[in-house]
Amino acid sequence: MYTAEIARALKARGHEVEIFCPLPGKIANLITPSGISVCDRLSDLPFVPEVIHGHHHLPLMAALARFEHTPAIHLWHGTRPWVERVPDHPRIKRYVVTSDRMAPRLRAEFGIAEDRVRSLPNFVDTERYSHVREVAKTPGRAVLFGQSGFYPHELEMLEQACADNGLALDKVGYAYGNPRPRPEYFLPDYDIAFAVGRSALEAMASGCAVIPIVPQLAGARITEDSLETWAASNYSPRYFTGADRFDSAWMAQQLQSWDPEDIAAVTQQVRQDFTLERAIDRLERLYEEAVQAPYDAGSQAAFASYLEWMAREADGLWAQTATAQNELDKLRAENARLKAQDVPPGPLPDAIEPVAKAQLSQSARSDAARRARIEASGLFDPGWYRRTYEDVAASGVDPLVHYMQIGWSEGRSPSAYFDGRAYLDTHPDLEAEQITPLEHYLSRIDALTNSLRAPGAQSTEA
Residue 76, classed as helix, strand or coil, is: strand
Helix axes 152-164, 248-256, angle to 10 degrees: 50
Strands 209-210 and 217-218: unpaired
Q: How far apart are CA 83 and CA 97, in angstroms?
A: 16
Domain spans of the chain, in order of start: 2-122+276-298, 141-273, 306-453
DSSP 332-385: HHHHHHHHHHTPPP-PPPS-PPP-------GGGS-HHHHHHHHHHHT---HHHH
Residues 6 or more apart whose CB falls under 8 angstroms from that of 79 comprise 85, 105, 109
User: CATH for 2-122+276-298, among 3.90.1150.10, 3.90.650.10, 3.40.50.2000, 3.40.30.10?
Assistant: 3.40.50.2000
Q: How far apart are CA 115 and CA 362, in angstroms?
A: 43
For residue range 320-349, list pLDDT tens digits in order: 677 777 777 777 777 777 677 765 544 434
What pLDDT score does 274 carry?
A: 96
Domain 141-273: what homologous superfamily? Glycogen Phosphorylase B; (3.40.50.2000)
Using an 8 Å Cβ cutoff, are 418 and 424 in contact?
Answer: no
Query: What are the φ and ψ backbone dihedral angles of 106, each rounded to 5 degrees?
Result: -60, -40
Q: How far apart are CA 16 and CA 7, in angstroms?
A: 9
Query: What are the φ and ψ backbone dihedral angles of 124, each rounded to 5 degrees?
Result: -135, 140
- CB neighbours of residue 152 within 10 Å: 13
Smallest Cα–Cα separation from 272: which of 445, 63, 126? 126
Establish how many alpha carbons lie within 13 A of residue 316's alpha carbon, considering only the half-sphere containing its beta carbon: 11
How far, rounded to the nearest angstrom, does the alpha carbon of residue 157 sit from its chain's CA centroid? 24
What pLDDT score does 138 carry?
A: 94
Query: What are the φ and ψ backbone dihedral angles of 73, each rounded to 5 degrees?
Result: -120, 150
Cis peptide before 152 (omega within 30 of 0): no
What pLDDT score does 357 carry?
A: 35
C-alpha to C-alpha distances, 96 to 99, 100, 276, 288, nearest whole angstrom: 9, 10, 16, 14
Number of residues assigned to the chain? 462
Smallest Cα–Cα separation from 72: which of 320, 260, 286? 286
Residue 56, classed as helix, strand or coil, is: coil
Integer-rounded Cα Rg, in Å, for the chain is 24
What does the pLDDT profile of the chain (462 residues) look like in tens digits? 788 899 999 999 999 999 998 888 777 777 888 889 999 999 999 999 999 999 999 999 999 999 989 999 999 987 667 788 899 999 999 999 988 888 888 888 888 999 999 999 999 999 999 999 999 999 999 999 987 778 888 899 999 999 999 999 999 987 777 878 889 999 999 999 999 989 999 999 999 999 999 988 999 999 999 999 999 989 988 877 778 899 999 999 999 999 999 999 999 999 999 999 999 999 999 999 999 999 886 667 788 888 888 888 888 777 767 777 777 777 777 777 767 776 554 443 443 333 333 334 433 445 777 888 888 888 888 888 888 888 788 777 888 988 888 888 888 889 877 888 878 877 777 776 678 888 888 877 765 555 444 444 443 332
Using an 8 Å Cβ cutoff, are 19 and 31 in contact?
Answer: yes
* Angle at 413 (CA atoms; ends 246, 199), nearest 5 degrees: 40
Domain 2-122+276-298 and domain 141-273 have a common topology:
yes
What pLDDT score does 366 carry?
A: 59
Residue 134, classed as helix, strand or coil, is: coil
Using an 8 Å Cβ cutoff, are 38 and 11 in contact?
Answer: no
For residue range 153-169, list pLDDT tens digits in order: 889 999 999 999 999 99
What pLDDT score does 355 carry?
A: 33
